[in-house]
Amino acid sequence: PMLMSLSASHNPNTHRHVRALCVCAFLVIFPVVLLCYLWSNHTISTWLLAVSAFSIEVIVKVFVSLMVYSLFLIDAYRTTFWEKLDDYVYYIRAFGNTIEFSFGIFLFFNGAWILLFESGGAIRALMMCIHAYFNIWCEARAGWSVFMKRRTAVNKINSLPEASNAQLQSLDDVCAICYQEMTSAKITRCNHYFHGVCLRKWLYVQDR
């Protein structure tokens, strides 16, 4: 969260950026060292697979955060509106969420194996049910909801007419959502001009 807020707010404090990046470096280096140590000193087992899955998940989360952070920093130094930024952020986060979801399924089956063949118990069964609900079912439902909202928003925006250069020059105004100049815009039914990507972001929140 600190990393995202620093990049999104265009915070110029270099010390805060360095401190956040050092934490990210630790969250990558420590799991890598831990994995190297464990895999070189222990035989393969269910607990080793579980620890490895958690460690790789942490590394993936950090890299996803760093990639989004980098995109926001690039956007901060651009002089023109970057329409594709939202799409790039979505693809990167979707990739990270897919990896996390895959590991969630893997950990569920790993836990099921332990429950059935190694050391089963009521507490482990309860923990598996909680894991299945929050880390598999809720994540899958949230991901599907975001995907459907994006698809619906894209279809709605594509149905709106595109403003011509003459119309934009005549308007001579900024987008009322992001306050940046409009080199391209969509015209709503009430004859208002907005960036298509800004309208799309709004439709992720409200469907009208």
Catalytic residues: 175
Backbone phi and psi for residue 4, each to the nearest 5 degrees, phi listed first: -65, -40
What whole-number distance in Å separates Cα of residue 84 and Cα of residue 107?
35
What whole-number distance in Å separates Cα of residue 139 and Cα of residue 145?
10
What whole-number distance in Å separates Cα of residue 34 and Cα of residue 42?
12
The CA-to-CA distance between both ends of the chain, in Å, stands at 30
DSSP state of 181: B
Query: Which of these, 67, 100, 98, lies nearest to 85 by C-alpha position?
Result: 67
